[in-house]
Every structure is written in C-alpha cells, then in structure tokens.
C-alpha cells in the first residue's frame, strides 16, 4: 500500500501537503535547439551558366559546320563539277557567256579544276561563249598542253567563240593556253610572250667530290642515258645533247601552237616572236600576239559580238572555298605546305628535272 494518497482517476498526482517540498528533484527546462541554418546556396551557379553557354556555342558551331559541309558536298557532287558561279551581268539565261579563270602557277591541279569547268560548259547548251581570265606566269608543260587541248576540243564540239582577257601575266604557259582563242585582249600593263622552254635541274657533283660522296646507283647495261641529268655526276656532252633534244621538242610544239593559233595575225618571224623574251601589251600587239589592248569589259563586249547576242548574261566560274577558307583561316594544305617538313618526297620534288613553260624572271 502506497504511503502517498492516490489521486482520483483523471487527476494529476496529489502532493503530500500544501507547500510541502516535492520529494523529486526539480525538472530542468528543455535546452533550446540551435536554429537549423539554411542550406548553403551552391557556389556552382556561375559554373553551370558558363557550362550551358559553352555547350550552346559548341552545338551552334557544330550545326553550322554540318550545314556547311552538306552544302559543300552538294556543290562538289553537283552538276557544276565542284564549282560555283556568280552573275557578272544579268540577261537571258539562254544567252550566257561563261568566264573561267586560269591563275597562278599551272600545275596538274590547275588542269583538273579547269577540266571540271569545261565539262560543265560543254554540257550546258545555254552557254554561247567563253572568256578565259588568264593571269599566270605559266607552269608545267603537260598541264599547259592539256588545258590548251581542252580549249581546242570545246571550240570543235560547241563551236562557241573563245576570248582571252589577260591580267598582269600571261607568259610562257600562260600564252600557250591563250593561243587558240579567237580574240586576245591584254590590259596595258600585261606582260606576255616568253615563248620558250626550261629544264630546271641542279648538279652538285663537285660538292659531292669535296666531301667524299659517291653515287653508286646502277643502270642496266646498254641504258647509259638512264642516269642522264643526275645531280651526282658530271654531265657529259652526249647527255647534254640528249637532254637539250627533249627541251627542243617541247619548244617545237610550243611554236606550232602559236603559229596555228595566231596564223596570219603574226607580223614577225618565229625566231623573233619565240626568242623567250617577255613583251609588253603594246609590243605583243605589234607582233600580232594579242588583238587588242584593253580590259575585261572589252573582252566581254567582244565575246558578245562574236556570239551575236542581244541580251547576254555573263557568269563567272570559281572553285568553292574550302572549309578552312570559309572560316577565315589558312587551309590545312597551306599549313602543311608552309611547314618545314623535309621528307624524301620534298627532296625528290626539289631535285628532279622539270620541263617548264614558265617564266620566273631569270
């Protein structure tokens, strides 16, 4: 039996007496909990913004480049054969004059691009005339001859007039490709002519002797001219005569091209015209190498007249820019070309004899 009275049901405990001290120790008030600090704000908000901006930029560039590549691929695979055109003078589409450039050193790549343009022109019956914008010091013999032949073939196949508009240079191979034209216009400052052939080569046999370098290359018995022109051994008179014969044959072809292309327009004997000299526009005009001293617009007017057109349209062909060029940077090919990367192929290219319809001022 408890020593303290029990409270009725529903009531709290009855203390032993009024004011009597409680037999239990006083209860301590609950300790207040410190306030819960708010979650710290992430310091990565600006990082996230930068990431989103970069991702958006990269996506935009990727999209732009893919669109460009689609367009570029379409141009390269389209009917224009890897070319684009711009309108120089508007008019009737079925009275079109095409303008095609031949610029820089003439190489195999020059011919391949030119051939693509010729294919497009040959297949387009709306084109009634051709203007060649020639601004080149010439170049390799074979590509110059190939370009010349494509012009001759176009005239036979289509029967359209061909006019040349000469720029700063139309020398050597530049004149070779101009010769079959029906009319040649040279601007007053044009240099042309240089009708001749070069065989560029080096001989370092004396240097090899000085440093004890021997050439032990072999050739089959009886094929003594196989090593003619070698840079490692002295040249014999027989080898020189043999190599000069190759140069003279290319020169003969050049003079025949000039005679056939210009015919009775020439006013001086071939030994004067084809002396290798470069002529000014006025000198070339007096010799019959050009028909007119003027500018591009004069060439356009002459092509229109020869084609007998009354509402002509003039378009200019050009190659599509590369991806690098479109972005305003040097092409990967150009970077590689300018890099000092000397491998065997570069050395071979520098040392091999090259037959050239080319004038370089020396």
Looking at per-residue pLDDT, the higher value among 199 and 324 belongs to 199
Cβ pair 355, 173 in contact under 8 A: no
Q: Tell me, what's the pLDDT at 217?
A: 85
d(CA 326, CA 331): 9
d(CA 119, CA 234): 47
Cβ pair 318, 99 in contact under 8 A: no
Name the 3-class secondary structure at 211: coil
Looking at per-residue pLDDT, the higher value among 108 and 321 belongs to 108
Name the 3-class secondary structure at 36: coil
Among 226, 260, 265, 286, the one annotated catalytic? 226
Q: How confident is the model at residue 102 (pLDDT cuts 50, 70, 90)?
A: very high
Q: Which of 73-82, 166-175, 232-241, 244-253 has the lowest mean pLDDT?
A: 73-82
d(CA 173, CA 194): 9
Burial class (CB in 10 A: 0-12, 13-18, 19+), 298: middle
Q: How confident is the model at residue 229 (pLDDT cuts 50, 70, 90)?
A: confident
Provide mean pLDDT across the span 338-354. Answer: 49
User: Is 226 among the residues known to form the active site?
Assistant: yes
User: Is 265 among the residues known to form the active site?
Assistant: no
Q: Tell me, what's the pLDDT at 205?
A: 86
Q: Which of 12-21, 52-61, 260-269 has the lowest mean pLDDT?
A: 12-21
Q: How far is CA 203 from CA 34, 209, 218, 236, 350, in A?
A: 95, 12, 18, 12, 12
Q: Tell me, what's the pLDDT at 85?
A: 84
Among 172, 178, 230, 285, the one annotated catalytic? 172
pLDDT digits (tens, 9 = 90+) for 187-211: 999 999 999 998 888 888 888 888 8
């Amino acid at each position: 039996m408890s020593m303290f009275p029990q409270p009725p049901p529903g009531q709290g405990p009855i203390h032993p007496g009024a004011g009597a001290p409680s037999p239990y120790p006083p209860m301590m008030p609950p300790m207040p909990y410190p306030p819960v600090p708010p979650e710290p704000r992430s310091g990565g908000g600006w990082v996230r913004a930068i990431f989103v901006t970069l991702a958006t930029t990269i996506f935009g560039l990727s999209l732009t480049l893919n669109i460009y590549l689609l367009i570029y691929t379409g141009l390269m695979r389209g009917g224009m054969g890897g070319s684009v055109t711009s309108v120089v003078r508007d008019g009737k589409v079925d009275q079109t004059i095409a303008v095609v450039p031949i610029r820089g050193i003439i190489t195999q790549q020059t011919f391949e691009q030119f051939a693509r343009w010729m294919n497009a022109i040959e297949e387009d019956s709306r084109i009634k005339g051709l203007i060649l914008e020639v601004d080149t010091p010439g170049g390799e013999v074979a590509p110059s001859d190939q370009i010349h032949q494509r012009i001759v073939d176009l005239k036979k196949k289509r029967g359209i007039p061909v006019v040349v508009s000469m720029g700063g240079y139309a020398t050597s191979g530049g004149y070779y490709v101009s010769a079959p034209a029906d009319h040649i216009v040279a601007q007053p400052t044009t240099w042309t002519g240089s009708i001749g052939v070069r065989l560029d080569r080096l001989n370092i046999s004396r240097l090899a002797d000085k440093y004890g370098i021997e050439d032990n290359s072999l050739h089959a018995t009886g094929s003594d001219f196989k090593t003619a022109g070698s840079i490692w051994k002295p040249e014999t008179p027989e080898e020189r005569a043999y190599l000069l014969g190759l140069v003279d044959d290319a020169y003969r072809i050049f003079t025949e091209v000039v005679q056939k292309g210009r015919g009775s327009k020439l006013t001086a004997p071939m030994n004067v015209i084809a002396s290798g000299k470069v002529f000014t526009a006025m000198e070339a005009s007096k010799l019959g190498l050009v028909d007119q001293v003027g500018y591009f617009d004069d060439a356009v007017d002459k092509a229109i007249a020869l084609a007998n057109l009354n509402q002509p349209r003039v378009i200019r062909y050009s190659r599509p820019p590369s991806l690098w060029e479109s972005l305003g940077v040097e092409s990967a090919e150009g970077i590689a070309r300018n890099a000092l990367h000397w491998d065997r192929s570069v050395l071979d290219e520098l040392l091999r004899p090259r037959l050239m319809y080319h004038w370089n001022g020396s």
